[in-house]
Each structure stands twice: as C-alpha cells, then as structure tokens.
Structure 1
C-alpha cells in the first residue's frame, strides 16, 4: 500500500486557505472603494490656477 503524502495535502490546504483569504481581501477592498467614491471636482494640480 502506498504511503500518504501529508506534506502535499498540507500544501494544498495552505493554497486553498490563501486563495480564500485573497478573495475576501479583494471583496473588502471593493466594498470600501464603493463606499467612499472620490469627488469628481477634486483639484489635480494646484499650479493650474495661475
């Protein structure tokens, strides 16, 4: 009988966990960006007024 490769299984669990964390982080960032939009009339360069 073949020996189970626990290090491979652990690596797969770690990759799945990281992928899940990354997707949650991206979802949080998207909701934050949606919550506070940038003002449309923001000053881009102060020297343009001269």
Structure 2
C-alpha cells in the first residue's frame, strides 16, 4: 500500500494546533497543581 496523498493540508495543520493546545493545557494544569502543592506545603505541620 502506498501512503495516502489525499490528506487535506488544513486538516493536518488543525491536528498540529490541537496537539499544541492540548500540550499547553496539560502544562498549565501541571503548573497550577505544583504551585498549589508548594503553597499548601508550608501549612502542613504537626497538629498534636
């Protein structure tokens, strides 16, 4: 089988943008999680 040559260039560009947006969103969620853990980590201490 030969590789498909009828792939729409616009669809390929959309796919690339979707991947970039997904990775950016995942990075943002991880950043918010890390900042939250760091900020709350200072408040954790012995409670007895």
Normalising by structure 2, report the TM-score: 0.69
Provide, for residues 18-38 of structure 1, a one-character-per-residue CA deviation record: whole Å limited to 9, x for no partner.
Answer: 000000000000000000018
Structure 2 gaps, min length 5: 44-48
Structure 1 gaps, min length 5: 41-50
Aligned length: 39
- Which residue of the other structure, out of 11, 15, 25, is the alignment partner of 2:14? 11
**What is the root-mean-square deviation in Å for CA atoms of aligned residues?**
2.3
Determine the structure 2 residue equivalent to 1:32.
35
